[in-house]
Structure formats: structure tokens, C-alpha cells
Structure 1
Amino acid sequence: MAQFDFESLSDLAGQRLMLGFDGQTLNTELKHLINEYRAGGIILFRPNIESPDQLRRLCMDARDYALDQGLPDLFVAVDQEGGQVARLRKPFTEFPGNPHMTTLEEAREFARITASELFDMGINMNMAPVMDVVPPDVDSIMKDRVFTGNENRVAEMGTAVIQGLQKGGVLSVAKHFPGIGRTVKDSHFFLPELETELSDLKQTDLIPFEAAKKVQVSGMMLSHILYTRLDANWQASLSKTIAYDLLRKGMGYQGLVMTDDLDMKAISHDMDTCIYRIMAAQIDIALVCHAGPNIAEARNAVMGYLEKDKELFESGIACVKRILAAKEQFLV
């Protein structure tokens, strides 16, 4: 991997962003995100995907273009959980989803086949597995996406998926820290609130994420939920208390930490505020998953804070070093 220029604010800012785009080819928009915004990663959705040949060309062209622009290789991410959240459909293998996995062998088979198909396409990051725990008495928004059973069963099945994906050369991202299985509202459209005490989360929700850390999961995605007993003012994806104090310091997690999509309705703050909170919490990657003004606003905000805030610049170096270490491990 080419030598990274830590003196370039543009390159430092770009590595902190994972961006969505319109189209199915290395078009003008995607070239702009890579060349001008110096994006460290892109994320794919169903409209970006038409066929295996098209998808492979898109991913490989984008990654080659990043290298041609003197950048590190791109993260190319997708949500391929199986079931209702699977961006790749037939002719790719379709799995019924986490609630339908009943054995460790099924979890391992899902991970093995999924990693092989993603890797062959040039996709190197899967936003999976879901590690949320749904209590038996909760009509959770996540009930159709989680592994069934208690926290220990979720940990066991989830870590099998993590290990299988990463053995196949695909970074795994466990989600949604510190756990959204108790929520009944959808953060795509609302800001859910949970009043659960940290002591209760430690006994249940956090156990799968502790297990994910132990098997060296590449990344963890923060939820957009407001945990009022942990941080009454900021949802997890913008909370230093949760992202840094709890996940980094408390649990000792040293892998990548990223937000969920900042375009979701649970985020009502302006982008400048979001980016400041993300950088202050030492969250490595901000996701902006849809084309639109939020992408430019996010990039400009990261650039601005790197330039004017010495503390955020120095912590930002550490974030980019984590990003580059993950790329060195999986993308070369």
C-alpha cells in the first residue's frame, strides 16, 4: 500500500468517510467522491447492483481508481446479513436470515459462502453480523434480523459469522453497539430512547459485543439510539460517553468504530454538529449513505475541525492509523 500523507488534511478527512452514491459504474459522481473528497470507503445498495459482472467491474474499477489517485485501497462495504437485509440477491446465494439459523454449522456456512461471493466481487467489508439481543417480552424492531435466543447464544452465533467472514478476507462489522434489541421504534424514521441502566446492558446486550471483541472483529457500528441512563443528550453514534468511555476505554476495543448512516431520521442535528461529536468521540468512520448535500457538508466539517482544532487533529491521526491498519490487514 502506498505511503500515506499524514500532512494532507484532505486525505486525512477523506479516510474518515464512507459514502454512498448513485449509479452502477465508476461514473463522474463516484470519481468525484474518490478524487476530490478522497473518500476512504464507499457503501453499496440495491440500486448500485445489476449483475455479478457489473458489480465486479464497479468495485474493481473504484478500487483501482483510488490507487491511481495515490490513495489507499477503498473499503467497499455492503449490508449482507441475509433475510430482509441483503443487498445482493439472485444469482447470489440467498439466505433466510439470522432468525432462521439454528446451528453453528449454518452460521459458518452462511459466513463462508457470503465471504466467498463478496470477495469475488471486490467487496471487502460486510456490515454484519447483527449482535443485538431481543428480550422475549419485547416486540422489537429487530426481531426479524437477530439470532434467536439469549445473549450467550447471540454471542456464539455472531462470533461464528465474524470468524467465517474474516477468514474469507472480508472485514466484519458487528452492530448495533451497545444493542438495540430492546427498541420498538425504527431509527430510520424516529429517535428511539431507552432508559436501560448500564448494569442491565452489561448483563445482556453487551455480552455479544464483548465476544466480538475477543475474536477480533474488524469493526463495530454504533446505533442511533438515545440511551438516557448512559448519555441523556446524545445518541450512541454521537456520544463520547458511549463510543469512547464505554467501548474504547471500558471494553478496551481497538478496532474500527463507525456510525450508522447519518442520513437516517434519528439524526436531527446539523452535519457540522454531528461531525464535531464524532471526532470528539474518536469515532473512526462516519457513514453518509446517500448522494446529496450531507456528503459535502460532512467532508467540509471534518476538514475544518482538522485544521482549527489541534486536539481533534491529533486524535484524528490515531483514527486514520486504525483505518490504514485494517486496510493493510485485509486489502493487500
Structure 2
Amino acid sequence: MIRSRRNARSSAAAALLVLVATVAAACAGPGSPPLPVAPSGATSPPGAATTSAGTGSLSSAPTATSATSGPAATTSSPAPTRQTSEGCARTIVADLTPAQLAGQLIMVGLAADARQDSLDALIRDRHLGGVILLGGWYNGVERTRAATRHLNAASDRSGGAPGLLLAADQEGGNVQQLRGDGFARMPSALEQGTLSAVALRQRASTWGEQLRAGGINVNLAPVADTVPDSLGRDNDPIGRWDRQFSSDPDVVARMVGAFVTGMHEGKVATATKHFPGIGRITGNTDLTTDGIVDRTTTATDPFLEPFASGISAGTDLVMVGSAVYSRIDPGVQALFSPRIVTDLLRGRLGFRGVVITDDVGAAKAVEDTPVGQRATRFVEAGGDIVLTARPSTVPTMHRALTGRMKADRGFRATVTAAATRVLTLKADLGLIGCD
């Protein structure tokens, strides 16, 4: 897997797995056939491409794990320790300017119908750390690889600057942003959930190899949300599109672990989403501010089990959603909540990796929050990468981060810690190097 040490099983995550395994969960899945179009934006973030540096040496040897946590992977060849990756990241971060630090915390979308060079100046001038391919890239692996190569060339690598995280939203079914020659058609997550964990891991490994061939180094998947049978397709962001593996969190947990392990065998990083779960809401945060309050989920909820499984399997990123959880932090959207990002995800679940937002550029759920504050509030809550589908928001977000750093030493330290986590991931992927 991609450096399993990065998100090694912590005692906190193990304790939560034991806790949630003892709690009864809702069973059964939604029942209607898939709809013909895919959801947009926040709940299905688009992808990005790899740099010419590649993704480093990643293992392909899985290890057996419990049914609760799902399969995990271990490195089968010599690899740097987490301390080595963190040390490398810290060395580079120490030499970055505020503008460069801020840029590493922003990922911007490149739409399939946009000019290939439309982001060049933004990537260079704002020192951006990542790009996600949005809107449906359906012309095969060659076109995708041409785009990722161009993006890598546009990135300023002078002086050992970090390479780009290049991502895609490749879940399967309606949410498969890369298609065409070289990309196998992936079944929906609901169909994937009927496979054995071993079979899903094997398929995910192949899908990961195809992504890597197209220059992608991060897959914004798997979906760890559980949609209760009582809600089913009335859950607009997930259930309506068959994006859940199951309505049983134990099954979801097994499939999440298998998917993460398989992607790592294919040498692609994963982003488990949408923490702490959007399976119990009715509204799609991309499209509305209505129906986005979850009044059920708690900090010890069985629906957190799939996220704990993803962490145990070594997921590299966790995506935090934009819903509100009244039994955890009333009135505060998850991505702006220290109780959710820092206390629950990093504390109780023990996640040490990169935390990324759902889309905060075009999503309706955040439209009342000033653009700059979408970045600063997320980072202040304990997050790392701000994902925006709208390139026009990048300068404002970048200025907000740099301005706040200059005015507040404490915030500068928070940004430095976030950038160190991002660059540790990049070191694991072979996108930076230290002598």
C-alpha cells in the first residue's frame, strides 16, 4: 500500500472499531435502478494527475485483517519510514514562503471542456499543490495522460519545489470521471458491495493501475457513507446514485478496506469520504442548503466504522463533508468544526494523514461563507487541502491564507503543520525528494 505507516493503526482507531462493532446498525440497501446522470461537484470531487516524478515504490502485498476493518496492505519492498517522509517534508516546508505554503493547501478543478492551459498561470503564480479533473473525461487514457503531463509541466519544479497531487473522482457507476479506451467501466459501489472483499481488492488494483497510466496519483474514493434502508434513494447525494457499498456499516467497512488496499496495490492514493458520513441527510450539499442537517450521527456512531476501517487500511486522505451534525457540533458545518476535524477524526479515530474538503468553490452549502473564510476556517479547524471546483475562487482563498499567516503567528504554525502533512504525502508518492 502507499506507505501504510502514514495512517498506521492507532490505539484510538482500534478502540473505536471495537466500540462500533458492538452497536447494532441499520441493514438493507436502496432498491431502484441507477439514474442516468451523475451528481455534480462536492459529493463527487473530480480528479488530478501525477507528476513526472511518479508515485514512488508502493507495495502490492496485502495482509489479512479482521472482517470489521477489511483487508489491509503492507509494503513488500524497502521504503522510507514515516519519520523519513516527515523529515523530508519538514526540510522543504522550512524553506517555503507564505505564498508557497498557502498554495500547497489548495486543489483546483480542471473541467473536461476547459482549455488544457487554462490553469497554467494559476498553478505557477499561486504555487498550487494539486489539480482535480472535473466534468467527465471520456476520451480515454491518452487524453488524460496528455492533460496530466501538461499540468506537471506547468508546475514550477525549480529549486526542488513539490510536484502536483493530480486527482480524479473514480468511484464507479454514475461517478466515474475518467472513461474511454484504457479505463474499464466500473460498476456502482452498490454492485461492488456484493463482491467478496478479495474480489473487490483485485478489481480496485486494476482500476488503480489504469489511473496511474493516465497520470493520476490520487483517487477521491472510496465512499464510506452508509445510507440506511429506511432512507434509500431519498438520500440525494449518495443513495440516489447507488454510491454506497451497502446499508450495513459492517459491509461498508469491509468494502472500504478492500478498495483502499486495491488502489494502493495499483500505486494510487485514496481519499475516504465524506466524513463523518452524509448517508442520513436528504439534501445534496453541492446543490442546496436544505436537508443537510444530520440529527442522528454521534461521535460513537456505528456509521463511523467504515471510516475507521479506511484509516486502518491506510487511506492517505479523508474528505470532510459540508453537512451539519447536531449531535456532535450543532450549527457548525463539518469542514469548519474543530470538534469533527480535530477532536473526532484526528483524535478519536487517530487519523494522521491529509484532510481535504468536499468542493467549496461552487457548492451551495457554503455560499453564505465568504470565499476566503472557506479556506481559513477549514485550516483552522484542522484541515489541510481546500478543494475548489471554481478556479476564480483561488486568488481570494490564497490571499486569505497568506494574509492571515502574516497577521497571526499561531495561524502560520497551523498552516505549516498542514503543509507538512501534505508534503509528507507527496514524499510518500515520490513527488518530492530530499538528499
Give 1:291 deviation, angstroms. 2.7
Distance 2:385 2:214 in 1: 23
The letter for the 2-side match of 1:126 is N
Give 1:69 deviation, angstroms. 4.2
Return 5+ residue gaps in structure 2 as ranges: 1-52, 54-87
Q: Tell me which residue corresponds to 2:57.
A: none
- Partner of 1:261: helix, strand, or coil? coil
Residue 186 (structure 2) aligned to one of 95, 100, 114:
95
Distance 2:297 2:286 in 1: 24
Distance 2:147 2:263 in 1: 22
CA contact (8 A) 2:174 2:188 kept: yes
Residue 214 (structure 1) aligned to one of 312, 327, 344:
312
Distance 1:223 1:149 in 2: 19
Percentage of pairs with the same residue: 29
**How many residues of Structure 1 are paired with residues of Structure 2 in the alignment?**
328
Q: Tell me which residue corresponds to 2:248.
A: 150
CA contact (8 A) 1:35 1:69 kept: no
- Partner of 2:92: helix, strand, or coil? coil
Equivalent positions of 1:34-73 (< 5 A) are: 34-46=123-135, 50-70=139-159, 71-73=161-163
Q: Tell me which residue corresponds to 1:136.
A: 229
Distance 2:136 2:168 in 1: 12
Residue 170 (structure 2) aligned to one of 80, 84, 99:
80
The letter for the 1-side match of 2:401 is V
Distance 2:203 2:134 in 1: 20
Distance 1:295 1:261 in 2: 12
Distance 2:246 2:93 in 1: 46
CA contact (8 A) 1:24 1:55 kept: no
Distance 2:306 2:358 in 1: 18
The letter for the 2-side match of 1:281 is A
Q: Tell me which residue corresponds to 2:331.
A: 233
The letter for the 2-side match of 1:329 is D
Residue 270 (structure 1) aligned to one of 359, 370, 377:
370
Give 1:5 deviation, angstroms. 5.1
Residue 21 (structure 1) aligned to one of 84, 89, 110:
110
**TM-score relative to the length of structure 2:** 0.72
Q: Tell me which residue corresponds to 2:296.
A: 196
CA contact (8 A) 2:216 2:268 kept: yes
Q: Tell me which residue corresponds to 1:295.
A: 394
Distance 1:112 1:87 in 2: 18
Q: Tell me which residue corresponds to 2:4.
A: none
- Partner of 1:173: helix, strand, or coil? strand
Q: Tell me which residue corresponds to 1:280.
A: 380
CA contact (8 A) 2:221 2:271 kept: yes
Give 1:196 deviation, angstroms. 1.5
1:182 aligns with 2:280: yes
Give 1:257 deviation, angstroms. 0.4
Distance 2:328 2:373 in 1: 20
- Partner of 2:365: helix, strand, or coil? coil
- Partner of 1:88: helix, strand, or coil? coil
Give 1:24 deviation, angstroms. 5.7
CA contact (8 A) 2:138 2:180 kept: no
Give 1:40 deviation, angstroms. 0.2
Distance 2:391 2:126 in 1: 13
Distance 2:259 2:153 in 1: 29
Give 1:34 deviation, angstroms. 1.6
Q: Tell me which residue corresponds to 1:173.
A: 271
CA contact (8 A) 1:24 1:49 kept: no
Distance 1:317 1:77 in 2: 23
Give 1:48 deviation, angstroms. 5.6
Distance 2:189 2:376 in 1: 35
**TM-score relative to the length of structure 1:** 0.93
Give 1:197 deviation, angstroms. 4.6
